[in-house]
Structure 1
């Protein structure tokens, strides 16, 4: 028995051992009890994973603060009760759809969720095999489901897993839905005995497997209906060699089918082609990590004399590209902002070819506020519309739906973290369709005797260079973070006064948007039109030299992040001058606004 612990902890230990029917996690908890490890028990039992707009994500281990069978049952039970009230008609008629990736426990937790809903008498569409995340929001709208769930931790380390929820509109949930689901979970914590009985799924008439139908419909509606026949023919004619890595995830099977259809050739990295929960060949299964995650892909490309590498993250909702420069022999890994510029160019070109009579004044492109403003610049030049949203595809997806409800046409949306929406039939990032569209774009560019880097340079020459510099500081003291941001809002001791510039106002601030307080001096009454959250810090400054800077806190890590981009005019062609101005301004912002030495902030590089 545990000694030196209070009544609350003892109660939680007894509760867990009473409720948990998984022998492995019960044994883990009992071991901590036998070792009298009070600190670990408190950490695991006295706090719990909170259900947010991304659902749940965390370490797979015993306890309410981790991902395990009991927490999944509690989540599914609470989620069911929420849907019974909020989405009852859809739940009765069409139920929910559930998918999962190749991580440890993903299939089991998908089956547990299906069990909870089937036991309650509701129809469930459960994928029979692993599936890419984008198929879930696609299927929610296809079947008019009450909701969609995918068990995945995307590109997190191998010991993590997650539980991602889509609303009935096919978009990721946003507030207040997340808070209502969390409340319902807390009201339904005691696991029903029936929730453990996954045998109920065998030959159950309420359970169907939608996999074949969804994959075929996805290929037809997202690929066949959107990619022009002339571009499929060009893919075959060009014969561009593309090396592809699924990063030990679930993207290869459907990507191969789609690339066969569009006439493009991919050579998979054999060691990373199929799902593997240990991700044995990469330290972090995230193509955003750069060459450290693409080493095998680069070796495969060199061996196959391929100039291009396409990469998905493990659940295939993100997409990355690398290209070997034919002149220098060096590999360039494109940033999300650079890919956003290329996608913007390509999808506008395709839209105008497919719909020559459509007015650009009725069309939109979207990016998150911390992403490149290249689409905004393009919009001004070409005559379409641009809007930005808060960070995250939950905001982009819901903005797409808002615009479509008023008769607007959305061409493209992206965020700098290599997330791209190339078809608004899926109101979420989709690495699969992104790879298909980019293959067509690459064939077109190469057929003209150019490389991707050349087209990117051409885009910047036309619209102006957009150079980004993003990083962060570690700070695990919330009081210091609050003090830093309150100082910015009360500059030089003047209440509700923001800085006027940096370097003795050599670079002046011309607009300020504070989405913590709701201040925006570019809007009537200085009232921000984007959603405001007082629980997070986020201030955006625009300088007279064309620099955009957003300072924000992370929702999941002890960090102050800065996202900066210098947007120059097309007549500024000297990139060294642009780079120098960018670094000079960003260094001054960090030193003057954040005071890293005074506040003991640790930069990313340390």
Structure 2
């Protein structure tokens, strides 16, 4: 369809005055380039659902796109799960601009299909949606959120009836149904009518009560929690978590937390942070440090705006703050999950016990598993893969204790088959209280873990790139580095030999006898992993939710080896060659993290 036809279609279908006016203004200005960019392509539905900038047009997040997406999802559910008309769908939303409205427009669509809707009526953490899906045995769940993205963005995340994010082939099936059902149905714009529909209910109070009851009962020693001298500074990062974290501290029997007051209340403009992402570390935690120092707090717990992730910082004995990386948090929480399991099940065999992490995360869980006798599994990047793997293991009668990814996402137990920043915060606080009775800090325990199971050093960062042509050119250059279909053999003028290459875009893996990767691969995303002769592993990949090229690296030392500083230097040197030789040729089109 040509541009004029798409514009005419939009002007006929869109009932939102703001986005209609946006299109009309572009028409008056004769801004053909802008109109083409927003009208001739549309946000594609992937395994992360939708995420993008809010604004007019099919390429942005707006009322009409939400309606079309919900119509496609509704049709897909009716064809794949006919009992959706009795089991229903769960909808939740965060505190971003338009989230309240998007959630209710989606509800209106599903109700028009005769699908019951469990609409969590106030802002809630993302993990409440998969939790509610499992509790109510719903067919699916939708969370309206863009997580930690900039304030201009919003998103639409979908969960299946197993409580995990959707994976192929559901994503392509839903996309096809969206494209087949673009014309808005009658009444889908009428939010008031939807809210009076008898098939709509709000289970937020019941689900919140159940969630916190389970969180409370999971604590090992509530008296120890109450008696700990540790004080915790907590930030909601202008998102949804403040009231939920307040309740979590109460039910887990900790003394009240010390909130970062400037970031305590939901604010979709995120006025105190450039990026509302605690993964950014010190740059996002300045107010947390200030609050903690003023109140003699030794630990900071920071949620992202939809509260599915957790960043952790600790006041060092020497002064200053240690901001733990996601891999370091994963090591601590993984050790604690194993300690808790042994404490609660002293006679149990570890043979049916599992922990999971993504392929770009530290392999520290694998080292712990090898020594302690439980099982470790690696999946593709993202909790959609870890959550679905956890579900399949649970169906087989296995026990899944913990899963994590380096991007500060943690799944503790199986009540929520996704990352959960609320439960992660309470497990971290519980662990810190226990360690304090042993005369140890979190940092002390991390060093102990490395001494016991082997040092795992990481060096991760990213480049920002909004041009997909540049990204594709960069990765194709790597695939043809030494001629057609020939990856690099070494870096640094031969200093670092490459032992194996795994390309999960093409499915190639030089370490396999048949040269075919064991993990699933997809041509729709870029991901190449290099294993070096010195044991270092480095992965380059594109983000599924942000315009980033990410790199991840890890180097390992066996228990008892003490040359950690030398290994860190070696890893830094290798990463510098990765940047110079594989990323630098397109640096003029990229913006590095440090810029």
Q: Which TM-score band applies after superposition, normalised by the shorter structure?
A: over 0.9
Residue number in structure 1 paired with 2:339: 349
Structure 2 residue aligned with 1:185, among 167, 174, 178? 178
8 Å CA contact 1:546, 1:566 repeated in 2: yes
8 Å CA contact 1:473, 1:601 repeated in 2: no
How many Å separate the matches in 2 of 1:563 and 1:42?
Answer: 36
Residue number in structure 2 paired with 1:424: 414
8 Å CA contact 1:474, 1:560 repeated in 2: yes
Deviation at 1:144, TM superposition (A): 1.0
User: Per-residue displacement from partner, 1:300-344 (whole Å, max 9, x unpaired)?
Assistant: 111111011101001000001111112x21011111011001001
- Flag the 1:248–1:121 CA change in 2: closer, same or farther, 3 A: same
Residue number in structure 2 paired with 1:531: 520
Q: TM-score, normalized by length of structure 1?
A: 0.93
8 Å CA contact 1:246, 1:311 repeated in 2: yes
- Flag the 1:194–1:469 CA change in 2: closer, same or farther, 3 A: same
After TM superposition, the structure 1 = structure 2 runs for residues 403-442 of structure 1, keeping only pairs within 5 Å, are 403-442=393-432
Deviation at 1:244, TM superposition (A): 0.6
Residue number in structure 1 paired with 2:143: 150
1:211 maps to 2:204: yes
Structure 1 residue aligned with 2:187, among 191, 194, 206? 194
8 Å CA contact 2:288, 2:300 repeated in 1: yes
Residue number in structure 1 paired with 2:121: 128
Aligned-partner SS, 1:88: coil
After TM superposition, the structure 1 = structure 2 runs for residues 211-230 of structure 1, keeping only pairs within 5 Å, are 211-221=204-214, 223-228=215-220, 230=221
Structure 1 residue aligned with 2:227, among 237, 242, 260? 237
8 Å CA contact 1:373, 1:567 repeated in 2: no
1:398 maps to 2:391: no
Deviation at 1:566, TM superposition (A): 0.8
- Flag the 1:407–1:599 CA change in 2: closer, same or farther, 3 A: same
8 Å CA contact 2:26, 2:34 repeated in 1: yes
How many Å separate the matches in 1 of 2:358 and 2:586?
Answer: 31
How many Å separate the matches in 1 of 2:545 and 2:131?
Answer: 27
Residue number in structure 2 paired with 1:11: 5
How many Å separate the matches in 2 of 1:576 and 1:479?
Answer: 39
8 Å CA contact 2:14, 2:20 repeated in 1: yes
How many Å separate the matches in 2 of 1:203 and 1:558?
Answer: 40
1:449 maps to 2:439: yes
1:81 maps to 2:69: no
How many pairs align? Answer: 593
After TM superposition, the structure 1 = structure 2 runs for residues 8-157 of structure 1, keeping only pairs within 5 Å, are 8-89=2-83, 91-157=84-150
1:334 maps to 2:328: no
- Flag the 1:70–1:559 CA change in 2: closer, same or farther, 3 A: closer
- Flag the 1:553–1:207 CA change in 2: closer, same or farther, 3 A: closer
- Flag the 1:555–1:138 CA change in 2: closer, same or farther, 3 A: closer
How many Å separate the matches in 1 of 2:578 and 2:98?
Answer: 45
Residue number in structure 2 paired with 1:314: 305
8 Å CA contact 1:239, 1:264 repeated in 2: no
- Bigger shift: residues 482-491 or 438-447: 482-491
1:587 maps to 2:576: yes
Deviation at 1:396, TM superposition (A): 0.8
- Flag the 1:369–1:31 CA change in 2: closer, same or farther, 3 A: same
- Flag the 1:458–1:601 CA change in 2: closer, same or farther, 3 A: farther
1:596 maps to 2:584: yes
How many Å separate the matches in 2 of 1:428 and 1:129?
Answer: 20
How many Å separate the matches in 2 of 1:595 and 1:172?
Answer: 32
Q: TM-score, normalized by length of structure 2?
A: 0.95
How many Å separate the matches in 2 of 1:420 and 1:272?
Answer: 22
Aligned-partner SS, 1:596: helix
Aligned-partner SS, 2:418: coil
- Bigger shift: residues 75-84 or 581-590: 581-590
Deviation at 1:147, TM superposition (A): 0.6
- Structure 1: state its 5+ residue gaps: 1-6
Residue number in structure 2 paired with 1:547: 536
Aligned-partner SS, 1:341: helix
How many Å separate the matches in 2 of 1:98 and 1:276?
Answer: 21
8 Å CA contact 2:541, 2:551 repeated in 1: yes
Aligned-partner SS, 2:307: coil
- Bigger shift: residues 334-343 or 34-43: 34-43
Deviation at 1:419, TM superposition (A): 0.3
- Flag the 1:244–1:46 CA change in 2: closer, same or farther, 3 A: same
Deviation at 1:201, TM superposition (A): 2.8
8 Å CA contact 1:269, 1:296 repeated in 2: yes
How many Å separate the matches in 2 of 1:490 and 1:534?
Answer: 16
